């Protein structure tokens, strides 16, 4: 699994006299400056391009492919349009996506590693913004959020590798209610209600108001709760990648941990066919918005069979199914996976219990509760109404990636937000890849042989080897091959890419 985040971007007016063209940089150009700025950091990664050969953004899991001529331009993600694109030494990808700089984490096998490499991405972006500010002579600001409050939304997408044999209609019917109801744990909080913030107030999720369909291929328009892109980035005969676009951009480590940890366990249950309950909602699109607007977490949702449950109740049903599944297969897990599973399910239960009694007790764990508590303190002190511009500014400043300005960072510095990983771990994850997936091979060859890497993707690396007439592609279709255990010593013992290929051949 892994997470990819588009960061909100803006720039203050230049500090020195500049041409009109430079003053009016398009967000795409500004994002390009940010990505290139990080490329100047020593040991950041290679400048090789991205290999789009195996990408299929218009292929639908439901059995068809949209013709390019009929696709919206935003769906054509298999071209970089000449924008900056980097493969980092930690196995991640840093690039320009539409009008935003985007960081896509390396693929990992644990929820804690998702947190580790997601936080590394925030550090990457903070460094990139600082360097871009110096080179442009103006302050570039990056925000880990999902909307500008004026109608635009940009995504934080999760990716989970599933067994191709799992019927997709089962995923749709059983996973939808989980995604709709999980906001009570994973929401980032937002000032304003409606896509254009046309109503005053505070809501749980930044993304909820932007979903308009139950199932579909799009990600930037007519957004669906269940995305149907069939682009596994792995052996398509064995795997399916579920591209989840409903999540918020979380700063809280516990919110991120529970977001991916609970989803991965629910998907395990669905793959095994062990949910054991019909949780289909009567109107999922309306429900995802109503859950977000209900900060008391007590509103009732109507299921297809007429039953009514709160979002917390729905989450409890999913949790129960996960507990039963863990009891059955727990002996098959290694010690680290079993420990994390128990921790995820335990924290999940604690959050649901607190949401039923007093959500404010979660202010040191969940983004939306932390943000709401912060807002209420300002409202109480200064007598602010929900339509106050000051509250909108606080909402934005919470998400600033610069630790000197970030209100989330200020809460962490004061010990008011719980953490799962150390600053040293984050710094290490910024430059070093995970050791138990193919990301290890990708990251290590970028660090050691980056000048010889022509292009890379999630499932391949292409080299220019001096003694070979053609470019050489190393396929990485199995996400669990290319680990430190398998190739670590070989990479360390090779001093040139020619030696690497000789070793690979042996």
**Residue 220, C-beta contacts closer than 8 angstroms, at least 6 positions apart:** 72, 74, 75, 98, 155
Q: Where are the alpha helices (DSSP H) in 407-466?
A: 407-413, 423-431, 439-449
Convert the pLDDT of each residue in 222-276 to its tens digit. Answer: 899 999 989 999 999 999 999 999 999 999 999 999 999 999 999 999 999 999 9
SS3 for 456? strand
What is the chain's mean pLDDT, rounded?
93
Q: Sort strands 93-97 and 100-104 into parallel, antiparallel or unpaired.
A: antiparallel
SS3 for 36? helix
Tokens at residue 383, please?
């007598």
Cα separation, 472 vs 453, whole angstroms: 10
When pLDDT is averaged across residues 191-215 and rounded to a whole number, the result is 96
Asked whether the beta carbons of 146 and 7 are under 8 A apart, the reply is: no
Convert the pLDDT of each residue in 8-28 to its tens digit. Answer: 999 988 755 544 444 568 899
When pLDDT is averaged across residues 384-389 and rounded to a whole number, the result is 96
Task: Identify the pLDDT of residue 338.
Answer: 97
Asked whether the beta carbons of 325 and 265 are under 8 A apart, the reply is: yes
Q: State the residue for tokens 């269940």.
A: 226
Cα separation, 261 vs 376, whole angstroms: 30
Res. 60: pLDDT tops 90? no
Q: CA angle, corner 62, sides to 57 and 68, nearest 5?
A: 35
Convert the pLDDT of each residue in 77-124 to its tens digit. Answer: 666 667 889 999 999 999 998 889 999 999 999 999 999 999 999 999
Task: Identify the pLDDT of residue 20.
Answer: 44
Task: Identify the pLDDT of residue 73.
Answer: 65
SS3 for 341? helix
Nearest CA to 438 among 484, 489, 503?
484
Share of the chain above pLDDT 90, in %: 84
Nearest CA to 263 among 175, 166, 365, 347?
175
Which domains does the chain show, CATH number per domain?
A: 2-369+393-427 (3.30.590), 435-505 (no CATH)
Q: What is the pTM of this model?
A: 0.94
- Residue 182 to residues 23, 179, 318, 443: CA-CA distances in angstroms? 42, 5, 10, 33
- Whether 327 sits among the annotated catalytic residues: the reply is no
Cα separation, 57 vs 165, whole angstroms: 21
**Residue 172, C-beta contacts closer than 8 angstroms, at least 6 positions apart:** 214, 215, 226
Task: Identify the pLDDT of residue 10.
Answer: 94
Cα separation, 389 vs 257, whole angstroms: 32
Helix, strand, coil shares of the chain, percent, nearest 5, are: 45, 20, 35
Nearest CA to 284 among 182, 402, 355?
182
Tokens at residue 272, please?
């095994």
Task: Identify the pLDDT of residue 128.
Answer: 97
Cα separation, 260 vs 253, whole angstroms: 11
Task: Identify the pLDDT of residue 79.
Answer: 64
Cα separation, 438 vs 53, whole angstroms: 18
When pLDDT is averaged across residues 207-235 and rounded to a whole number, the result is 90
Convert the pLDDT of each residue in 114-160 to its tens digit. Answer: 999 999 999 999 999 999 999 999 999 999 999 998 899 999 999 99
- Other CB atoms within a 10 A radius of the CB of residue 308 amount to 11
- Output the CA torsion 280→285→291→294 (10° steps): -140
Sheet holding 472-475, edge to edge: 49-50, 453-457, 460-463, 472-475
Spot the catalytic one: 24, 78, 97, 459.
Answer: 97
* Phi, psi angles (nearest 5°) of residue 500: -60, -45
In terms of phi and psi (left: phi > 0; alpha: psi -120 to 50; beta: otherwise), the region of 235 is beta
Cα separation, 456 vs 462, whole angstroms: 6
DSSP conformational letter for 310:
E
Enumerate the β-bridge partners of residue 93.
87, 104
């Amino acid at each position: 699994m892994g997470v990819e985040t588009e960061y909100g971007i803006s720039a203050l007016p230049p500090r020195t006299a500049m041409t009109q063209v430079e003053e009016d940089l398009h967000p795409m150009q500004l994002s390009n400056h940010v990505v290139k700025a990080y490329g100047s950091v020593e040991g950041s990664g290679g400048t090789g391009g991205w290999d789009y050969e195996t990408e299929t953004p218009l292929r639908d899991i439901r059995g068809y492919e949209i013709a390019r001529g009929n696709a919206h331009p935003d769906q054509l993600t298999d071209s970089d349009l000449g924008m900056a694109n980097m493969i980092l030494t930690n196995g991640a990808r840093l690039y320009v996506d539409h009008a935003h700089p985007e960081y896509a984490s390396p693929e990992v096998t644990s929820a804690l590693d998702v947190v580790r490499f997601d936080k590394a991405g925030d550090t990457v972006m903070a460094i990139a913004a600082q360097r871009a500010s110096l080179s442009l002579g103006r302050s570039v600001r990056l925000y880990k959020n999902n909307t500008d409050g004026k109608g635009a939304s940009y995504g934080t997408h999760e990716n989970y590798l599933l067994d191709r044999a799992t019927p997709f209609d089962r995923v749709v019917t059983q996973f939808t209610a989980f995604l709709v109801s999980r906001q009570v744990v994973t929401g980032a909080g937002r000032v304003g209600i409606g896509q254009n913030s046309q109503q005053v107030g505070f809501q749980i999720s930044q993304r909820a108001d932007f979903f308009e369909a139950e199932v579909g291929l799009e990600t930037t328009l007519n957004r669906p709760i269940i995305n149907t892109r069939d682009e596994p980035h792995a052996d398509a005969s064995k795997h399916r990648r579920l591209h989840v676009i409903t999540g918020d951009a979380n700063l809280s480590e516990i919110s991120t941990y529970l977001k991916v940890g609970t989803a991965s366990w629910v998907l395990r249950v669905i793959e095994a066919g062990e949910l054991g309950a019909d949780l289909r909602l009567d109107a999922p699109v309306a429900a995802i918005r109503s859950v977000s607007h209900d900060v008391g977490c007590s509103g009732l949702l109507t299921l297809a069979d007429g039953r009514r449950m709160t979002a917390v109740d729905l989450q409890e049903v999913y949790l129960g199914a996960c507990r039963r599944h863990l009891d059955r297969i727990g002996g098959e897990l290694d010690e680290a996976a079993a420990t994390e599973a128990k921790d995820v399910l335990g924290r999940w239960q604690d959050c649901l219990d607190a949401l039923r009694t007093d959500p404010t007790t979660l202010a040191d764990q969940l983004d939306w509760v932390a943000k709401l508590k912060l807002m209420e303190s300002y409202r109480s002190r200064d007598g602010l109404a929900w339509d106050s511009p000051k509250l909108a500014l606080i909402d934005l400043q919470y998400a600033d990636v610069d630790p000197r300005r970030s209100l989330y960072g200020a809460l962490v510095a004061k010990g008011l937000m719980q953490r799962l990983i150390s600053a040293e771990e984050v710094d290490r994850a910024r430059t070093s890849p995970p050791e138990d997936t193919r990301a290890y091979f990708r990251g290590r060859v970028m660090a050691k042989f980056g000048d010889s890497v022509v292009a890379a993707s999630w499932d391949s690396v292409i080299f220019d080897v001096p003694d070979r007439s053609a470019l050489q592609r190393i396929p990485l279709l199995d996400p669990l091959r290319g680990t430190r255990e398998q190739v670590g010593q070989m990479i360390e013992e090779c001093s040139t890419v020619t030696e690497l290929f000789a070793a690979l051949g042996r």
